[in-house]
Structure formats: structure tokens, C-alpha cells
Amino acid sequence: MSSTLAEKVQAQLIQAIDNDALTLPTLPEVALRVREAAEDPDVGAADIAKVLANDAAISARLIKVVNSPLLRAAGVITDLQMAVSRLGINYTCNLATGLAMEQMFQATTDIIDQKMREVWNKSTEIAGISHVLCRHYTRLMPDQATLAGLVHQIGILPILTFAEEHEELLADPQTLDAVINAIHPVLGEKILRAWQFPEQIATVPGQLLNFSRNSAKTDYTDIVQVAMLQSYIGTDHPFAQMDWSDISSFHKLGLDPQVDMQDDEDLSASMEAAMSMLQ
């Protein structure tokens, strides 16, 4: 790997971030509109459904979510307004916002497009595990945990967009990975703050890889951190080779770091269901 290239690109990107010269991605239109609608205290399910109806893909995904075995609707729901009523307004908005992110993970070059798909697939996997962890082991909100999982790698986007315009990065995948690993957490937090995400979600990208952190009480970073580590069990990823016994997020969730949650049939089935509802 060309470490000098990695350092050079990193320096360029950090300078661009500091000078506000790096174009940060903008929140997708549907996410902005649904958030705006949800801020109205008099909003109802019909109003939210009306906003979402403009985006056929997200509407279809929400109907898939509401019919997921995880949420166990009494009968099959086929109507968007009924889906919003069943999920609740906050849950719908958080999920719609998270799912809208997928539209951003598209590129013009094959290499970057493939990389973006990998990032998005990993994000949905971690979001699914986060949903289940949140539900079973905390009193936090599963929709917020899911959203935190879906956006925890958002900082990779501008780096990949930058790489599309820089041949030397495209030609050197190892350097690209080194740059991504070094600065996507900082960028991710910057993007989520620019989008005015709630504090407890905005801090997730920047805190996620801090394995010695120990917040006063269980938070969304704990959930996504455990979900991310669990997602690497059985792989040769460096995180899977680490000793997790001192990582406080496991203890805060009341989980044994030595136990693979996939071995628990009920949990494993829930995780499968959560991941498939997001894909």
C-alpha cells in the first residue's frame, strides 16, 4: 500500500473538511419532507402517508417492514396510511429517513458503485442487528437504533465521491480503504450534525471505534458497536480477532462478549427478519 498517497489524500480531505470546501451529501428530499411533517404537533398518519406516497420505493419498503414477522401485524397491511398508523409517526419517520439513504449509495464508476453497495449492505446488516439488540436488551427506541445503524458509515460517501474524481485512488483499493478507515468517523459525525440529527445518533460514527469508551448509561453507540462486532463473528476481520471482554458496551447491554448471539435460535431468527426487512 502506498502510505504516502494515503497520507496525502487524507491531508487533502481533512483540509477540505476544515475549510468547509468538501461538498457534504445533502439529506434526500423525502427524508427532509417527512421530518418537516413530523415536527408539526397536529400531524396525522394521513399527512405522513401523503408525503411518503411521492416515493414509491420507500412506500413499498415501509409496507414490507410493517408486515415483517418482527412487528407481527394482525393481518396483512397493504395500505401506506395503515402502515404509518401501525408503525407510529416517529418510527415511520426514522425508518423512512434511514431507508432514503440507500438512494445516495450510487456511483458512476463500477468500482465505486460496487464499494457503495458493499457499504450499504453492511449498514443494513448492522442496522438489523441493532434493532434486535435494542429491543431485547435495552429500553431505548428500536427505530432510532435502526437509523443509527443505517447511517453509521455515512462518512464513507464523500470519500468515495472524491475517489471517483481521483484516478490514483481508484487504482489503489488498499490506499482507498486506509483513507476510509482513517477519516470516515469524523466525516460521518460532521454530516449527521449538518443534517441536524439528534445528538445521540449524530455522535455514533465518531464514537463507534472507541472501544474503551464508557458512557454513564446505555446509548445508541453501545448498541451499534456491539451489532458491528457481532456482524464480524466467524470472519477474519481484525475486529473478530480482538478480545472483547473489556468492551463496556457488551456489559451495559448485559451480554456476554464470548457468546455468539446467532447461537440463540430466537435471536438469530429475529436478526434474519430484521435484516431482510431492511433489504
Single-letter amino acid, residue 172:
D
Neighbours of 278 (CB within 10 A): 25
Instruction: Examine the pLDDT at 262 and tell me if it is beyond 90.
Output: no
| pLDDT over 80 (residue 270) | yes
- CA–CA distances in Å: residue 130 to residues 95, 140, 215, 249: 13, 11, 18, 12
Structure confidence by residue, pLDDT tens digits, 13-52: 878 878 877 778 899 999 999 999 999 999 999 999 999 9
Q: What is the pLDDT of residue 4?
A: 79
Fold (CATH) for 3-278: Hypothetical protein af1432 (1.10.3210)
Confidence of residue 3 (pLDDT cuts 50, 70, 90): low
**Which of 82, 32, 35, 25 lies closest to 59 in space, CA to CA?**
82
The pLDDT of residue 2 is above 70: no
Q: Is the pLDDT of residue 1 over 50?
A: no
Question: Which whole number is the average pLDDT over 73-98?
Answer: 92
How confident is the model over 185-196, as a mean pLDDT? 92
Asked if residue 73 has pLDDT above 80, the reply is no
What is the structure's pLDDT at 261? Answer: 79
For cell 406516497, the residue is 53
How much is the mean pLDDT over the chain? 90
| Percentage of the chain lying above the pLDDT 70 cut | 99
The 10s digit of each residue's pLDDT in 56-72 is 999 999 999 999 888 87
pLDDT in tens, 197-224: 999 999 999 999 999 999 999 999 999 9
Residue ranges of the domains in the chain? Answer: 3-278
